[in-house]
């Protein structure tokens, strides 16, 4: 069994089809009989939503919270669910769908309606979770399969908020509580372990600025505060989210024969590099973070 050192490239995370293919492969290991028809329909609709091809909505124009982020969250969510299954947790087909579709829906609140031309979807940063929940409720209205799950979607999606974690006592079942904690964890893991995370923080600052998110004076200020954000995130993983991050190790051991949480290793590399570049001048910081030639809007 390989340890966390010198981890090979497992899949191409710049390629959305590769991410979706891996997601479905992992779902097959959670439940080999899983019927993916419902998930595939939602996936196609959400991809169209972000692309501006869904009736009534404009294309996504937030470059941090984009479709790439959504599929990375979906993959992380699926891996956590698989790790839990390896550890003995049993998910019904409905519960698997709830987890996967919640991941797909969690940032739909950034998408503007067709008649909304003021600014970008970033203006909804502080209330995008409520808008995402409203989108789910509208999208699934009249769907008999999920007729009794609107509260479950509400509670699971609410776990992605910085200040909106739902108390355990309010979840309808322990499994729904587990899915909520997994989605909150996956949302953070998916973005912070991304090889483009540091570069995209510049784009995140633009979203924060338009969305009037308090506490950040500049791009450099956001970069500096990302180090302390990382420390708080590790505390959230263990306390607020009940340590479900541990399931990643079970996943990577079973799927890839790697005895490590690859996400945490990647996050540590990102943060350590960030600490290194923050010692440089402002000009050198910008130069050092342009490692992957992404576009700065």
In this structure, the number of other CB atoms found within 10 A of the CB of residue 41 comes to: 11
Q: Report how far residue 248's alpha carbon sits from residue 3's, in angstroms, rounded to the nearest whole number.
A: 14
Q: Report how far residue 10's alpha carbon sits from residue 2's, in angstroms, rounded to the nearest whole number.
A: 13
> 8 falls in which pLDDT band (50, 70, 90)?
very low
Q: Report how far residue 129's alpha carbon sits from residue 134's, in angstroms, rounded to the nearest whole number.
A: 9
> 128, 104 in Cβ contact below 8 A?
no
pLDDT for residue 2: 66
pLDDT for residue 167: 80
Most distant CA atoms of the chain, gap in Å: 58
43, HSE (Cβ side, Cα atoms, 13 Å): 19
Residue carrying structure tokens 């600025």: 209
pLDDT for residue 9: 58
Q: Which residues contact residue 171 at a Cβ distance below 8 angstroms, ignoring those fewer than 6 apart?
A: 152, 155, 177, 180
pLDDT for residue 46: 98
Residue carrying structure tokens 């028809």: 37
- Supply 234's token pair: 């590790």
Of the candidates 84, 111, 67, the one whose C-alpha atom is nearest the C-alpha of residue 27 is 84
Q: Report how far residue 29's alpha carbon sits from residue 219's, in angstroms, rounded to the nearest whole number.
A: 42
Lowest mean pLDDT among 106-120, 223-237, 241-255, 276-290: 276-290
The answer on pLDDT for 15 being more than 90 is: no
Q: Report how far residue 89's alpha carbon sits from residue 82's, in angstroms, rounded to the nearest whole number.
A: 9
In this structure, the number of other CB atoms found within 10 A of the CB of residue 161 comes to: 17
Q: Which residues contact residue 149 at a Cβ distance below 8 angstroms, ignoring those fewer than 6 apart?
A: 94, 98, 140
* CA 61 to centroid of chain Cα atoms: 17
pLDDT, tens digit, 9 for 90 and up, residues 176-189: 999 999 999 999 99
Give the residue-averaged pLDDT of 6-27: 83
The answer on pLDDT for 5 being more than 80 is: no
Give the residue-averaged pLDDT of 97-118: 98
pLDDT, tens digit, 9 for 90 and up, residues 29-57: 999 999 999 999 999 999 999 999 999 99
**All domains of the chain in start order, with CATH:** 10-289 (1.10.1300.10)
Burial of 17 (0-12, 13-18, 19+ CB in 10 A): exposed
pLDDT for residue 280: 81
Torsions phi, psi for 70 (to 5 deg)? -60, -45
């Amino acid at each position: 069994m390989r340890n966390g050192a010198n981890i090979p490239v497992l899949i191409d995370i710049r390629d959305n089809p590769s991410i979706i293919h891996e997601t479905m492969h992992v779902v097959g290991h959670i439940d080999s009989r899983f019927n993916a028809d419902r998930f595939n329909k939602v996936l196609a609709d959400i991809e169209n939503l972000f692309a501006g091809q869904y009736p009534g909505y404009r294309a996504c124009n937030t470059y941090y919270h984009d479709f790439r982020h959504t599929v990375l969250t979906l993959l992380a969510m699926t891996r956590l669910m698989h790790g839990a299954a390896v550890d003995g947790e049993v998910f019904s087909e409905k519960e698997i769908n709830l987890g996967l579709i919640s991941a797909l829906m969690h940032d739909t609140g950034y998408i503007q309606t067709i008649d909304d031309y003021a600014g970008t979807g970033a203006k909804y940063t502080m209330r995008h979770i409520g808008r995402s929940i409203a989108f789910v409720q509208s999208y699934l209205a009249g769907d008999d399969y999920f007729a009794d799950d609107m509260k479950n979607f509400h509670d699971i999606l609410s776990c992605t908020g910085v200040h909106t974690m739902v108390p355990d006592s309010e979840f309808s079942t322990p499994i729904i509580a587990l899915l909520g904690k997994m989605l909150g964890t996956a949302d953070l893991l998916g973005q912070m372990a991304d090889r483009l995370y540091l570069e995209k923080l510049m784009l995140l600052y633009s979203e924060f600025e338009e969305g009037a998110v308090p506490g950040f004076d500049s791009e450099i200020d956001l970069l500096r505060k990302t180090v302390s954000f990382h420390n708080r995130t590790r505390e959230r993983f263990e306390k607020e989210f009940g340590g479900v991050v541990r399931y990643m190790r079970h996943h990577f051991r079973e799927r890839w024969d790697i005895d490590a949480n690859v996400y945490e290793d990647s996050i540590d590399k990102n943060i350590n590099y960030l600490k290194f570049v923050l010692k440089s001048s402002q000009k050198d910081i910008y130069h050092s973070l342009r490692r992957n030639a992404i576009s700065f809007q």
